[in-house]
Amino acid sequence: MCLALASPPAQAEEVQPPDEQVYIHLHAPHGYEVVFALFPRRRVAAVYAEKGKPEQKGSRWSGAAYAVHASRPSLEDGVAVRFGDVAKIQGGFVPSGSAKSGRRSRFCRGRNPVFEQGHFVGRIAFHGEGGYLSFRVDRAQESVARSFKLRCEHGHADHFRNDLPGLFGYIQSPVGTFSDTDGTILDSRIREKHRVIEFDALRHLHEQSATFKAGALEWLPGEVAASRWVEVARVGVETFMTAQPTTHPESARVDPPFPFSGEATYSRPTHSLEGDLTVSVPGLDLPLAGATSKAGLCVFTRNMLNRVCDSP
């Protein structure tokens, strides 16, 4: 008698699609660093302009970013992309030296990625709306990363995912992305016809300081997705105070420093921010308080294992 043993089922594979990412870096006036990010296979182009350092004590960090849909020919056969009235880039890549092979995941089969360094040569024009930054250059540093189709063990393929849908996933502001969330958090949103304004405040639990972030997502003419933000990190704790009791305070007051102006009070009964609080982001002044705001407060103290939140 012969017993036949069934062979184990073949493990499912995932396909990791090929991708290409192009980054063009340059130093701009007024302390701005500007990066153009091109994604030919995704048919998306983005540009980021920012200055300052994030989350450093007493520092200010601000920036703006824009994204558009672009055809593959406009991103592959050289570059010819327009970001509405904000920016325009046209030219080509001049490599310096030979391409270098990178490493792929050991759980995948296929060709290793390739990296190239060089220069963009052509024309770059940038004019941020509101006049916060304007310049023209004809040369900048450029890097290109190309990955190829891979077959990977299940769960090991890398897939691009957007936290926000569409173009806004490429230019999401840092609002709502505190790396240290051990503390009391106040967040507020104002929705307008073409714009969403966000404001977050964090009173740090393990240090006597507060951090504030504000920004806006909006559509500009020419189907340009735009994001602008500012952050003031680890300033005096007196700029963010809550009333008693510690679990469900009836109110909280915020009075952040420049580039914020004015102050506002969170009201638990109305879940709104009332006051004259505003902020200056690149090229735009934003209201952060008023009857149309929707706010929530999450309190976290040393005597609590979980946050206690009041949401609108």
Give the largest Cα separation in the chain, rounded.
Answer: 89
Tokens of 228: 């602008």
Q: For position 197, what pLDDT does the model report? A: 96
Report the range of poorest mean pLDDT among 18-22, 70-74, 107-111, 287-291: 70-74
Mean pLDDT of 216-229: 95
Tokens of 2: 């012969």
CA distance 195 to 75: 28
Report the range of poorest mean pLDDT among 50-54, 96-100, 173-177, 257-261: 173-177
Q: For position 302, what pLDDT does the model report? A: 65
Task: State the average pLDDT for the chain.
Answer: 90
Mean pLDDT of 145-164: 90
**What are the sequence ranges of the domains in the chain?**
13-153, 177-310
Mean pLDDT of 48-60: 88
Q: For position 88, what pLDDT does the model report? A: 97
Does residue 180 carry a pLDDT above 60? no
Task: Supply angle C-alpha 106, 38, 140, rounded to 5.
Answer: 110
Phi-psi region of 170 (alpha: psi -120 to 50; beta: other; left: phi over 0): alpha
CA distance 272 to 266: 6
Q: For position 5, what pLDDT does the model report? A: 54
Find out whether 209 and 57 touch, Cβ atoms under 8 Å: yes
Kindly report, residue by residue over 96-145, the tens digit of the pLDDT.
989 999 999 999 999 999 999 999 999 999 999 899 999 999 999 999 99
Identify the burial level of 241 via C-beta atoms within 10 angstroms of its C-beta, where 0-12 means exposed, 13-18 middle and 19 or more buried: middle
Handedness of CA 85, 258, 52, 265 (dihedral sign): negative
Share of residues in the chain with pLDDT > 90 (%): 72
Mean pLDDT of 195-202: 95
Q: For position 6, what pLDDT does the model report? A: 53
Name the residue with higher pLDDT: 296 or 174. 296
Instruction: State the number of CA atoms in the 13 A half-sphere of 86 facing the CB.
Output: 30
Mean pLDDT of 139-155: 95
Mean pLDDT of 254-269: 96
Q: For position 3, what pLDDT does the model report? A: 52
Q: For position 1, what pLDDT does the model report? A: 47
Phi, psi dihedral angles at 270 (to 5 degrees): -100, -10
